[in-house]
Chain A
Amino acid sequence: MELLLSCLPPALWGFLSCAGFSLMYNIHGSGVLVASTGAAISSFFYFLIVDAYGSEVGAAFLAAIVVGVYSEIMARVRRCPTTGYLQVALLPLVPGAGLYHAMRYAVDGFYQTFLNSLVHTIGIALALSVGAMLSSSLFRALLPRLPRLPRR
C-alpha cells in the first residue's frame, strides 16, 4: 500500500508535465487529457516496478507495454493513430536526462562513465520501443477477434 502511494506523486508530475508537452505538440481538447493520462499511467507503473524490482530497463519495458495497450484502446475509441498518445505517454520515461548526462560526461572527458550511461540510456530507449511495439502488434493480431466499435 505504501509502495502504491509513493508512486502517486510521480504520476501527478507526469500528468502535468505531459499536459505541457501535448500543448507543444499541437494536441487539442480532450486529446490533451487522454495523452496526459497515459503519461500518468506510464510514470506510475515505471516507479512502481523500479521500487518493487529495481531494474530501470525492465521497468521501462513493462510500463511501455501497459501504455501501449492503453494508447491502442484510446486510438480505437477515438479513431485516430496511436502515435500521438504513445509519444506523449512515454515522455516521462524517455531517457532525456540520461542522454544529457552521457554527453556531459563525454564533453568533460569521463569516457568510462560516458559509455556506461550511454549504453544504459540506449537500453531504456530500446526497452520502451520494444515494449510499445509488442503491445501494438499483440493488439493487431487480436483485433479481428475483438468487437468493432460503432463509427462516429
Chain B
Amino acid sequence: MPDYGKLLRLGTEVGRWLMLSGAEIYRIEESVHRLLNAYGTYPEVFALPNCLIVCVTTEEGESMTRMVRVSAKGTDIELLERTNDLCRRLCREPAPLDEALALVDGLGDHEPHNPPWLVLVGYILTTAFFAFFFEGDVWDAIAAGLCGLAAGIAQLYGKKLMGSNLFFRTALCSVLICGLSLFLCRLGLGHSEDAVTIGGLMVLVPGMSLTNAMREIMAGDIFSGLHRFAEVILVATAIALGSVLAMILGRVV
C-alpha cells in the first residue's frame, strides 16, 4: 500500500512548481492527475490560478486532501520545461516515492536563471523595438529603451520599496515609465511621445495575460479565466491611472 501522505505531497509540489512557472490550469490539473495515476491512485484535482486542491481515496475508503496556495506570479519557461520533463519521466517510470520527492523538491535549486544584467538587456530590447512597432524612429526607440531600463531596475530591485501589492507596484512603475518618457520627449530625445510611452509600457501591459485568460475560458476553466480577466482589468487600470498621474505631474512641473 502506498504512503498516501507522501503521494499527495508529490502531487501538490509538482502542481506548485507548475503554478509558479505560469502554466495553464488544464496543464496543472492534467499533470497532477497523470502523475498520481502513474502511482496507482485515482485523484481528484482542482486548480485555480492561486490555489491547488488534490484529493485521493485510500484503499480503506478514507479520503485525504491537501491544498497549496501560491501567490507569486510570473512566467518562468525554464522552470515549466523542467517540471514538465520530470513529471513525464515519473509518469513513464515511477521512481520510489522518497526519490521522486527529492527530485521534485530539488527542481528550484538547480534551475539556471538569466543573470540580472541579461534580464535588463531584455527589458531594453523589448521596449526599444516595440517603439518601432508604434511608428517611432530611432530616437524614440532609444528613449523607450531608457524607460524600459528604468522599469526593469524598479521591477528587479525595487520590490521592497514598492510593496507587494500588484496594483500599486504596477501603478508606480507606470508613473515612472510615463514620467520618464515625457521628460525625455521634452528634452528632445524622443519625437513621438505616444511611441515612447507605449513602447515603454509594453513590459507592464498585461496583453499576454488577457490572451491567456481567454484561453482558459475556451479550455473550459471559466472560473480561472474570469479570475485572470479581472486581474488584467485591474492591472490595466493601474497602468492608465499611473500614466494620468505622470501627465498631471508633467503639466504642473
Contacts and interface: CB of A to CB of B under 8 A. Distances in A.
Interface of A: 9-10, 13-14, 16-28, 31, 80-81, 83-84, 87-88, 90-92, 94-100, 102-104, 106-108, 121-122, 125-126, 128-130, 132-133
B77 A27 contact: yes
Interface string B119-130: 101111111111
Contacts of A88: 77
B112 interface: yes
Nearest to A108: B244
Contacts of B205: 96-97, 99-100
A80 B232 contact: no
Contact of A96 (B84, B121, B202, B212): B202
- Of A81, A88, A130, the most chain B CB neighbours within 10 A belong to A81
Contact of B240 (A22, A25, A92, A103): A103
Contacts of A104: 240, 243-244
29 contacts: A13-B130, A16-B128, A17-B133, A18-B126, A20-B124, A20-B126, A23-B121, A23-B125, A26-B113, A80-B85, A83-B23, A83-B24, A83-B27, A84-B80, A87-B77, A87-B212, A88-B77, A90-B208, A94-B211, A95-B210, A96-B201, A100-B240, A100-B243, A103-B237, A103-B240, A104-B244, A129-B211, A129-B212, A130-B214
A17 B211 CA distance: 18
A29 B127 CA distance: 21
Given A99-B236, A100-B239, A100-B240, 15 more contacts: A17-B126, A17-B128, A19-B122, A21-B126, A23-B125, A24-B122, A25-B75, A26-B76, A28-B114, A87-B77, A90-B208, A94-B210, A96-B202, A108-B244, A130-B214
Contacts of A133: 215, 218-219
A129 B121 contact: no
Nearest to B197: A100
Given A16-B125, A17-B129, A95 B240 contact: no
Please report whether the interface of chain B is mostly helix, strand, loop or mixed according to DSSP: helix
Contact of B215 (A92, A103, A132): A132
A132 B24 CA distance: 14
B99 to A, nearest CB: 22
Contacts of B218: 126, 129-130, 133
A26 B129 CA distance: 19
A132 B59 CA distance: 42
B134 interface: yes
Interface in B66-83: 75-81
B46 interface: no
Contact of A99 (B114, B128, B232): B232
Shortest 5 CB-CB distances between A and B: which pairs?
Answer: A20-B125, A23-B122, A96-B207, A94-B207, A96-B205
Contact of A25 (B76, B201, B210): B76
Contacts of A97: 134, 198, 201-202, 205, 207
B132 interface: yes
B203 A24 contact: yes
B138 to A, nearest CB: 12
A60 to B, nearest CB: 10
B133 A107 contact: no
Given A28-B78, A130-B218, A23 B206 contact: no
B252 interface: no
Interface string B218-253: 110000000000001100110111011000000000
